[in-house]
Structure 1
Amino acid sequence: MKVAIAGAGAVGRSIARELLRNAHEVMLIERKPEHVEPDAIPGATWVHADACELSSLESTGLEQCDVVIAATGDDKANLVLSLLATTEFGVPRVVARVNDPRNEWLFDESWGVDVAVSTPRMLAALVEEAVTVGDLVRLMTLRKGANLVEVTLPDTTALAGKPVRKLELPRDVALVTILRGGRVIVPQPDDPLEGGDELLFVAAEEVEDELRRAVNR
């Protein structure tokens, strides 16, 4: 997979290293010439270009990329790049970094964003996930209005001992994983649920309230 990352700061470089370790082809796009350091990540292709200027991006071959990651420290730049990547270069998937949580509402399909990643929100969600039992915690927003959400079943749950197939889920919801102690369980219809289980769902935003009621009945 070919991935372009705009912004060669600490975040962009960390993402690049991880992708390279997983055998992906990585191009780093950086506006400031003093930050273009090919020796820092020799496995990546480094390009000096302004990710907000169409003429500058045209020289990068962005249309050949499978994924674009807008990882700069400027939300405006990340939005502009996301829109250009989608509308001008036809990139199939765009992931954008949200620096200021107050701007998160902008990072949607109207700006060409498939997945928005807000570090403050993710950290807050992880804290909630660690201490919240019985309530729905949104971990990440996925493309097209679907979210990755988590529920930890209380020890006294009425679902204890019942098979997964008895969990009456609303439409547009999928149970993808059960975390139980140190185990990761791919749920099967006859697998029994237990108090303390962490259930991870992919759910459409509009049915989250129904899902909350389903796991707390």
Structure 2
Amino acid sequence: MNVLIVGGGKIGRNLAMFLNVEGRHSITLVEKQEQVAHALMRILPDIRVIEGDGCDPSVLREAGAEFADAVAAVTGDDEDNLVIAVLCKREFRVGRVAARINNPKNAWLFTRRMGVDLPIDTAQTIGRGLEADINLGAIVQLTRLREGRISLIEFTVSPESSAVGKTVAALRLPPDCLLTAILRGDDVILPSGETVIQAGDQVIALAYRDREASLSERFQ
């Protein structure tokens, strides 16, 4: 499936990573901020990243909107997301359009008439996930794979974490847990057993659902 994601913030980046892990999709990501776009090119080498404004039809055309099976407009601006949805639905005839709602007061605008097949209410999603976030400390669940059995998760290593200064091997991660990437400033690290954990590291991992709590404990 050809998937176009507009907005390279945390949601767009993590959605791209999730779809890439599945390995069944051709993904293009559009981000208008030059610095962010270039960082995404390093973080996501297997994904096509285009620097440009997703509200510009020429940028959407360059990104292949006319051939997209699905589009996700997930910028931090509701107006932009609606413009992108309308363009993709009416100009490029995309079959499936999802759009992020940043301000709940604007939710009434995100309708099929405006080109939105699937509204994504950020506040509601966060509210539903609050209990799980409390139970798992600083871990934020990004999405679930394999019918909910596997999670793609991200967390930030606090300065007080017992993991700081240790190698990945020394952490003795639970079985069936895999650290897929560490974001450290502008650097993207593909961790090995010898990689040393530092305070402030953003760690992205795959773990079976029943292993998430054990993984969290290694970084407390």
Q: How does 1:149-188 map to 2 (within 5 A)?
A: none
The residue that corresponds to 1:169 in the other structure is none
Question: How much has 1:107 moved relative to structure 2?
Answer: 0.4
Q: Distance in 2 between matches of 1:68 and 1:121?
A: 21
Separation (CA, whole Å) in 1 of partners of 2:99 and 2:115: 9
Which whole-Å CA distance do the structure 2 matches of 1:82 and 1:115 have between them?
10
Q: Compute the RMSD of aligned alpha carbons.
A: 1.8
Partner of 2:115: 112
Aligned mates of 2:16, 2:7 — CA distance in 1: 10
The corresponding residue for 1:136 is none
Alignment of 1:10-29 (within 5 A): 10-23=10-23, 24-29=25-30
Tell me what 1:40 maps to: 43
Give unmatched runs, 5+ long, in structure 1: 129-181, 183-217
TM-score by length of 2: 0.55
1:27 partner letter: T
* Alignment: residue pair count: 129
Rounded Cα–Cα distance in structure 1 between residues aligned with 2:31 and 2:126? 27
- Write out the 4+ residue segments of structure 1 that deviate beyond 4 Å after TM superposition: 125-128
Percent identity over the alignment is 37
Q: Which has the larger radius of gyration?
A: 1
Q: Matches of residues 1-217 of structure 1 in structure 2 within 5 Å?
A: 1-23=1-23, 24-37=25-38, 38-125=41-128
| 1:210 equivalent in structure 2 | none
Deviations 1:157-205, CA, capped at 9 Å, x for gaps:
xxxxxxxxxxxxxxxxxxxxxxxxx9xxxxxxxxxxxxxxxxxxxxxxx
Q: CA deviation at 1:55?
A: 2.6
Check conservation: 2:4, 2:63, Cα contact below 8 A: no
Which letter maps to 2:73? A
Deviations 1:88-122 (A, max 9, x none): 00111001111111111100111100000112113
Q: CA contact under 8 A between 2:30 and 2:52: conserved in structure 1?
A: yes
Relative to the length of structure 1, the TM-score reads 0.56
- Deviation for aligned residue 1:57: 2.0
Q: 1:124 Cα shift?
A: 3.3
SS of aligned partner of 2:43: coil
* Alpha-carbon distance, 1:126 to partner: 5.5
**How has the CA–CA distance of structure 1 residues 16 and 126 changed in structure 2, closer, same or farther, with 3 Å as cutoff?**
closer
Offset of 1:56 from its aligned partner? 2.6
Q: Do the aligned partners of 2:82 and 2:110 also contact (CA within 8 Å) in 1?
A: yes
Deviation per CA, 1:57-113: give whole Å up to 9, x if none: 222221111100001000000000000000000111001111111111100111100
In structure 1, how many angstroms separate the alpha carbons of the residues matched to 2:104 and 2:45? 33
Query: 2:4·2:65 contact (CA, 8 Å) conserved in 1?
Result: yes
Measured in 2, the distance between the counterparts of 1:108 and 1:117 equals 11
